[in-house]
Structure 1
Amino acid sequence: MSFNARSAWSIYTRELMRFLRTAFQSVLSPVLTTSLYFIVFGAAIGGRMPDLGGVDYAAFIIPGLLMLTLLGETTSNSSFGIYMPRFTGTIYELLSAPVGVAETLVGFVGAAATKSLILAAIILTTAMLFVDYTIVHPFWALLYIMLVASAFSLFGFILGIWADNFEKLGIIPMLILTPLTFLGGTFYSIDMLPSPWDKIALANPIVYLVNGLRWTFYGQSDVSIGVSLGLTLGFLAVCVAIIAYIFRTGWRLRA
């Protein structure tokens, strides 16, 4: 069956409009959160911190703060976007329509990537109010943000299908993703950790996401950009395979 671009566009616009209907909350939350982090960590603590690899501490934490917001918002938006049709029963309209897995994923992931770029632009604009910074590799930064947004949109999609109540919907973002992000080098370099904690930190997958984005900003990171990119692409491929299996078997969709 050929790719149905109109179906993908319909899903994309529906998801994007859902985001825009709550734009005030979606915009205000990251702006306030980013401002508070810069006031506490950038101004209060950053003045007492040395430069990290020649980068001012307040500028050093920007990629980590960006990743912290992107992971939480992208996963939550995507999981809620597929959970509500299941909860209300409208998922059967999607399943009975001539829409394949490819169109569904393109629509959901495309909307999530667009929302993530909007949030990233808001966060980076807010950061300019507190610190001067430059992005060494802007093209790769844009590409990496979209890659991470796509991967965690798919992850949120899986989470929204797996969850059978609102409590489960928030378990992964709040109890797993957020702590791992805080421990993933958001506010520090893992080179600052004493042994053996610097080696243990490498077991945290978020370390590679944060450092991959940090490399696009400042051309340096604690881990190889190749490893960061490879792990992100691998995670995306695993999520695509799981979703393809879910649609093929109807797991939790037709029950």
Structure 2
Amino acid sequence: MINWRGTIAIFNYEILRAFRTFWASIASPVLTTALYFIVFGAAIGGRIEEIDGVAYGAFIVPGLLMLTMLSQSTSNASFGIYLPRFTGSIYELLSAPVGVTETLLGFVGAAVAKSLLLAAIILATATLFVDYSIVHPVLAVAYIFLVAAAFSLFGFILGIWADGFEKLQIVPLLVLTPLTFLGGTFYSIDMLEEPWRTVALINPIVYLVNGLRWTFTGTSEISIGVSLGMTVAFLVLCVAIIAWIFRTGWRLRE
């Protein structure tokens, strides 16, 4: 039986931490994304032709949303579990009547909630700079939630793996952000010549960006089924890794 009191306690603590660090957790990513909309959407977008029948400003909205979500979901979840390890309070958590399910629902659930809040703010901010619409709004919300959950779980793993604050930033800054920029955020991969188009398809972020873009515009270079399948597979893989971590105590009891 799930210990909901423990789950809610962890969840509330993590949510309140986001508001205690408001400028870093919420304001900074929103302002950064707004600058992208100003430069690429409003300033440059008017001089670029439509891509796949979609205005350039509207075309980049899903990509910029994905850029922020991937980095923030990963960072929020990784810092959330790393901080108890750093302070030593992780041992109190491990000895408390809180299992793997409660821990994940608390830490990962809070990271997902923060990511969804950021996504809502960014979409509202985008309306100030570009004219866009969402063709499949229900699917868009579901897909955003799925991606946020998958990369929050991924961040949870990174938070357990990291043995210093520097390592917490390696993957979000040096891996996820470059891959997202190269994953079709600002362009269609159909615009690439071979062999670069084939190389681009090796990038897993391409499938995430195109899956979200399909829910917004109804068009995509990659099948929504493939994008959805890869996202679900990544989520399941992260859950399996976390289950192994808690079963073996790797990094938790060191």
TM superposition score category, shorter chain reference = over 0.9
Please, what TM-score do these two structures have when normalized by structure 2?
0.97
RMSD: 1.0
- Looking at structure 2, the residues matched to 26 and 85 of structure 1 have their Cα atoms a distance apart, in angstroms, of 18
Tell me the matched-pair count.
Answer: 254
Question: How far off is 1:113 after superposition?
Answer: 1.5
Conserved? CA contact 1:7–1:99, under 8 Å: yes
Q: Per-residue CA shift, 1:142-182, capped at 9, x if unaligned?
A: 11111111111110010010010111111111110010000
Question: How far off is 1:94 after superposition?
Answer: 0.6
- Looking at structure 2, the residues matched to 123 and 41 of structure 1 have their Cα atoms a distance apart, in angstroms, of 15
- 1:88 corresponds in structure 2 to 87
Question: How far off is 1:6 after superposition?
Answer: 1.8
Long gaps (5+) in structure 2: none
Letter in 1 for 2:125: T
The correspondence of residues 26-45 of structure 1 with structure 2, limited to 5 A, is: 26-45=25-44
- 2:119 corresponds in structure 1 to 120
The correspondence of residues 47-196 of structure 1 with structure 2, limited to 5 A, is: 47-196=46-195
- Looking at structure 2, the residues matched to 209 and 137 of structure 1 have their Cα atoms a distance apart, in angstroms, of 16
Letter in 1 for 2:160: I
- 2:237 corresponds in structure 1 to 238
Question: How far off is 1:43 after superposition?
Answer: 2.6
Question: How far off is 1:220 after superposition?
Answer: 1.1
Question: How far off is 1:30 after superposition?
Answer: 2.4
Letter in 1 for 2:232: L
- Looking at structure 2, the residues matched to 168 and 153 of structure 1 have their Cα atoms a distance apart, in angstroms, of 16
Conserved? CA contact 2:30–2:118, under 8 Å: no
Conserved? CA contact 1:184–1:201, under 8 Å: yes
Question: How far off is 1:74 after superposition?
Answer: 0.8
Long gaps (5+) in structure 1: none
- Looking at structure 2, the residues matched to 246 and 14 of structure 1 have their Cα atoms a distance apart, in angstroms, of 23
Please, what TM-score do these two structures have when normalized by structure 1?
0.97
SS of alignment partner, residue 3 of structure 1: coil
Conserved? CA contact 1:27–1:122, under 8 Å: no
Conserved? CA contact 1:78–1:112, under 8 Å: yes
- Looking at structure 2, the residues matched to 110 and 83 of structure 1 have their Cα atoms a distance apart, in angstroms, of 16
